Structure 1
Amino acid sequence: MTTRSSFPPLRTIAAVVLALALSGCATFSKDGGLDAVSAMTAERIGQDLRLPQAADTDPAGEELARLAHSPLSADDAVRIALLNNRGLRASLAALGVAEAELVQAGRMRNPSVGFSRLSGGGETEIERSVMFDLVGLLSIPIRRDIEARRFEGAKLAAATSAVRLAADTRKAWFNAVAAAQSASYAEQVREAAQASAELAARMAKVGNLSALDQAREQAFSAEALTQLARARHNATAARERLIRLMGLWGSQTAFQLPARLPELPNAPREPGNIEALAMQQRLDVQLAKRDAQATARALGLSQATGFVNVLDAGYANSSKSGAPRENGYEIELVLPLFDWGGARTAKAESIYMQSVHRAADTAITARSQVREAYSAYRTSYDVARHYRDEIVPLRKKISEETLLRYNGMLMSVFELLADARAQISGVNAAIEAQRDYWFADTDLQAAINGSGGATAGMAGAPATAAETAAEH
């Protein structure tokens, strides 16, 4: 429906409206939201985000060069991953998309220009018009508010990616150190098994050992060799996963790792009110809340524009041959004869309820995850401490007593070697228990501060070749 009238002052009004719209245009921020993401990340993991200022800089390489003369710590690995992981860079790029949407929401739709020329009967008629989107102009504050909330959500999502990367990197570091430590002990097992097999061959040659006992020692030596090969591969695979998370390649992969895992703390942390802390700190909970709030605002916009979503107004003039030019204004309104906007409103309401239920589900899941993570943390600590304070000292005492009996010629050399293998097996299990504790500690921190830790049920240590020696 189009209406026209002779109303010259509307040219001035349109110019004023346009000036106001242009003056309210949003602009891009200097940091692109990275400072807020860095602050949230530092609050949860103690390290901020620093991206290279120029494309030709290599901050990870510079950090590795600084650490070249000392083993890489877990915190060092996290720092390099935050600097260099390309997956995290991709997540941070989503900030630019969200900010662009925010800036776009603060800008009025470009005006449309109309021109027509009719001629006939010796006369020519020319019409000109400039149309502005009034609905878009009036809804700018609401749309900006919606996109601002989404921009805040994008910051939370980016911080979640950074915190998750930090947790994955820490676990990969602990796994790499433990795998290398286990490979070192597997080497000792192989050496002991090889020495036992050689001794058995010499004794069988002079008739002091049966063919059955010799075959047992040879079988154990062969099994120990395969266990060593698996342990070396596991160490390589664990190191490569750490390398991938840190985004390294080439000569950068030649970093050093400590020979041993960090020692257990003197006492485990107490649970306190970890559920309430998780509700305050967890980024996925905050993101779900903001998503529900943004959806609620979008529902308000859908209801406001459900009936009338096209309303254009602007300046128009017309000129005819031999007649003075006529000035006026033009209003274009889409009549809601077939579509009253009910479907759009119903869709928005359903999306809102979906986000509300998703936020409630996220909170319930977070509470459960943090309880489960603390149970795994405390159990892992108790198991690792039991190995450190009880099992390993007992193995050591048994080994010392066995050596005394061997020196007193009260037991054979094969019994001594079997006991040595059993002691190494206990040490390997202790390494795995210590690694599992640090896994559980990382998962607990993720369950409180990030988006949840991947906890799993406690399981016994897998059988090793050294444990097979007990059957010999």
Structure 2
Amino acid sequence: MSTTNPSYPVLRRLRNVALAASPLLLAGCATLSADGGMQPVQSAAQQHLGQNVEVVKTAADQDRVATRVAELLARPLNADSAVQIALLNNRGLQASFQELGIAEAELVQASRLPNPGFSFAKVRQGDTREIDRSFSFDLAHLIALPLTRQLEARRFAATQRAVSSEMLSLAAQTRKAFYAAVAAEQTARYMRDVRETADAGAELAKRLTLAGNWSKLQQAREHGFFAEAALNFARAEQNRLGSREHLIRLLGLWGTQTQFTLPERLPDLPAALQDQPDIENVAMAQRLDVQAAKLQAEATAKNLGLTKVTRLINVLEFGYQRNTFNDAPRQTGYAVSFELPLFDWGTARVARSEALYMRSVQRAAQIAIEARSEVRQAYLGYHSSYDVARHYRDDIVPTAKRISEENVLLYNGMFISVFELLADARAQISAVNGAIEAQRDFWMAKADLDMALVGKPVSDSTAVN
């Protein structure tokens, strides 16, 4: 004979209740991550830059960053070390990192269950005493919780991509500022040499004029060249200081940190460039601004769905009540309250959400169109700047050098005077300066192309010429 255990149905009901309530319990226990949502940003820095990023939250973090920055500044900077300093030490970027903490906190808040409500009332009327107790819960919030959490999750992901894009943009700006600063120092040193040469020529012309071997017109020409050389050096020095200060701002340096050393010259041009015929597809697959725009459109679509769900029932509460009396039996029961859509049927909210969604869709399409154009422009600029710099390297500068060598031979053979030799030096100024600028423009174009593959290129207005 078999017997039926009456506790089995009770256990099954308890198990079903536990399974149904487990997602709600997990939602109520949502917590912040250990890295503050920095993992995608760190991955982007490693993948696209080969560098590290770190959020500065404590004094220990600041000391660790300061030590690393000091190590990098102890050696002459290169483009990679300058980028690493900017990623660690730029305060604006650190402020953007805190946006991740804000967005993650909003996500966690959206994932948690609403707090229940409890009310207690005690009323006395003569000898009659009434005690009311009620326990309520916001069912509308609970119903919308999954959609709200998905919405905030997409917003959080969009914030992560936006911060990653800002980080990559800072890296591109730093590279361009580094190349501009090195080129400015290289040009300033050359213009200093030109000024000193012009000064020597002007002094020699003055002495020859006093001796009666030169006319005042010839002396005036040499003095004019010296005056122009002095002016050009002053402009080059001004540009050097401005370019260096722009780099200092991006690196977040101050005080003695600003006394860093730059290399004496720009890096050499590569032997050849690699063709990238599918560069548009590569850019569309990995550009963070395109991905962020898509996520924003998806988040707005989810928000539209949430608005449609809650358009009629915006307030819905369920409550348990327990009332006791000193002269009557105890009362127990429940209460449901909701908002009646008599005057506001939610059509305005839905229309607003639909307009926001279409706006985000159109903006995402425009961002994609601009991304394709920007990467094409950056790729063509990269190749054309390389052709110009290579032309200076392989033709213009070697030709000017051969002319100078031949003139030195003529001067040594006493076929030309020292002033003719100085005139040849003046003719080389434009060739040398043009070569430095072309080499600088190539490396800055490369930085623009690298940025165009992962995000919006840095505007030329931010660069120091």
TM-score above 0.5, yes or no: yes
Deviation at 1:127, TM superposition (A): 2.0
CA distance in 2, matches of 1:159, 1:271: 24
d(CA) in 1 for partners of 2:129 and 2:23? 37
Change (3 A) 1:450 1:383: same
2:8 maps to what in 1?
none
Q: What is the deviation of 1:453?
A: 4.2
Work out the CA distance in 2 between the residues paired with 1:349 and 1:435: 48
The alpha carbon displacement at 1:214 in A equals: 1.3
1:144 and 1:385 mapped to 2: Cα distance?
Answer: 55
Asked if the contact 2:89–2:251 (Cα under 8 Å) also holds between the matched residues in 1, the reply is yes
Residue pair 1:443, 1:454 contacting (<8 A) in 2 also: no
Structure 2 residue aligned with 1:286, among 284, 288, 291? Answer: 291
5+ residue gaps, structure 2, are 1-13
The equivalent of 2:27 in structure 1 is: 24
Deviation string 1:325-352 (CA, Å, 9 cap, x unpaired) is 2111111111000101111111111100
After TM superposition, the structure 1 = structure 2 runs for residues 247-262 of structure 1, keeping only pairs within 5 Å, are 247-262=252-267
Match of 2:340 in 1: 335
Aligned positions of 1:143-158 closer than 5 A? 143-158=148-163
Partner of 1:360: 365
Cα drift, residue 124 of structure 1:
2.8
Among 203, 213, 218, the residue aligned to 1:198: 203
Ranges in structure 1 where 5+ consecutive residues have no aligned partner: 1-11, 457-461, 463-472
Question: What's 1:272 paired with?
Answer: 277
Please tell me whether residue 101 in structure 1 is matched to residue 106 in structure 2: yes
Distance 1:166 1:51 in 2: 16
Q: How does 1:201-220 map to 2 (within 5 A)?
A: 201-220=206-225
Runs of 4+ in structure 1 deviating by more than 4 angstroms, as ranges, are: 15-20
Find out whether 1:445 has 2:457 as its counterpart. no
1:240 aligns with 2:245: yes
The question of whether the paired residues in 1 share the 8 Å contact of 2:97 and 2:163 is answered with yes
Aligned CA RMSD, in angstroms, stands at 2.1
Matched residue type, 2:53:
L
Taking the aligned partners of 2:340 and 2:21, their CA distance within structure 1 comes to: 25
Identical counterparts, % of pairs: 52
CA contact (8 A) 2:180 2:440 kept: yes
Distance (whole Å) between structure 1 residues aligned to residue 332 and residue 24 of structure 2? 24
Equivalent residue, structure 2, for 1:349? 354
Give the drift of 1:455: 5.9
Q: Residue in 2 aligned with 1:427? A: 432
Contact 1:127 / 1:317 at 8 angstroms: preserved in 2?
A: yes
Q: Distance in 2 between matches of 1:209 and 1:63?
A: 62
Which AA in structure 1 matches 2:214? L
Whole-Å separation in 2 of the counterparts to 1:266 and 1:59? 39
Task: Look up the SS of the partner of 2:453 in the other structure.
Answer: helix
| 2:312 alignment partner, SS class | coil
CA offsets 1:130-179 (integer angstroms, 9 cap, x no match): 21100101211111111111111111011111101110111111111100
Q: Does 1:170 align with 2:175?
A: yes
Q: CA deviation at 1:23?
A: 3.8
Instruction: Tell me, in whole angstroms, the C-alpha distance in 2 between the residues paired with 1:255 and 1:429.
Output: 27
Alpha-carbon contact 2:56-2:94 (below 8 Å) kept: no
Match status 1:40 vs 2:38: no
For 2:262 and 2:169, the matched residues in 1 are separated by 22
**Alpha-carbon offset, residue 20 of structure 1:** 6.5
- In structure 1, the residue matched to 2:147 is 142
Distance 1:250 1:61 in 2: 13
Bigger mean CA deviation after superposition, 411-420 or 63-72: 63-72
Letter paired with 2:404: S
The whole-number CA distance in structure 2 between the counterparts of 1:117 and 1:162 is: 60
In 2 relative to 1, CA 134–67 (structure 1 residues): closer, same or farther, beyond 3 Å? closer
Q: Which of 301, 308, 315 does residue 303 from structure 1 map onto? A: 308
In structure 2, the CA distance between the partners of 1:60 and 1:198, relative to structure 1 (3 Å rule), is farther
Matched, 1:225 2:225: no
Displacement of 1:269 in angstroms is 2.5
User: Does the 8 Å CA contact 1:278/1:449 hold for their aligned counterparts?
Assistant: yes
Q: Are the equivalent residues in 2 in contact too, given 1:59–1:83 (CA < 8 A)?
A: no
170-179 vs 240-249, which deviates more? 240-249
> Quick one: structure 1 residues 60 and 206, their matched pair in 2 at CA, closer, same or farther if it must change by over 3 Å?
farther
Cα distance in 2 between the residues matched to 1:120 and 1:61: 72
Q: Cα deviation per residue 1:92-131 (whole Å; 9 max; x = unaligned)?
A: 1000011001100011222223333443353233322121
| Counterpart-to-counterpart distance in 2, 1:344 and 1:113 | 31
* Residue 21 (structure 1) shift: 3.6
Q: Deviations over 1:421-470 (max 9, x none)?
A: 222331111000000000000000111122234369xxxxx9xxxxxxxx
User: 1:49-128 to 2 correspondence within 5 Å?
Assistant: 49-52=53-56, 54-56=58-60, 57-67=62-72, 70-128=75-133
8 Å Cα contact 2:55-2:97 kept in structure 1: no
Bigger shift: residues 194-203 or 118-127: 118-127
Structure 1 residue 381 and structure 2 residue 386: aligned?
yes
Residue 31 (structure 1) shift: 1.0
Residue range with higher mean Cα deviation, 232-241 or 115-124: 115-124
Q: TM-score, normalising length from structure 1?
A: 0.90
Asked if the contact 1:64–1:255 (Cα under 8 Å) also holds between the matched residues in 2, the reply is no
Aligned pairs, how many?
444
Counterpart residue identity of residue 434, structure 2 = A
Segment of structure 1 superposing worse, 145-154 or 69-78: 69-78
* Secondary structure in 1 matching 2:345: coil
The answer on whether the counterparts of 2:72 and 2:85 sit within 8 Å (CA) in structure 1 is: no
Query: Conserved in 1, the CA contact under 8 Å of 2:27 and 2:113?
Result: no
| 1:386 aligned partner, one-letter code | H
Whichever residue aligns with residue 278 of structure 2, its letter is N
User: Compared with structure 1, are the counterparts of its residues 196 and 20 closer, same or farther at alpha carbon in structure 2 (3 Å cutoff)?
Assistant: closer
Aligned-partner Cα distance in 2 for 1:454–1:244: 17
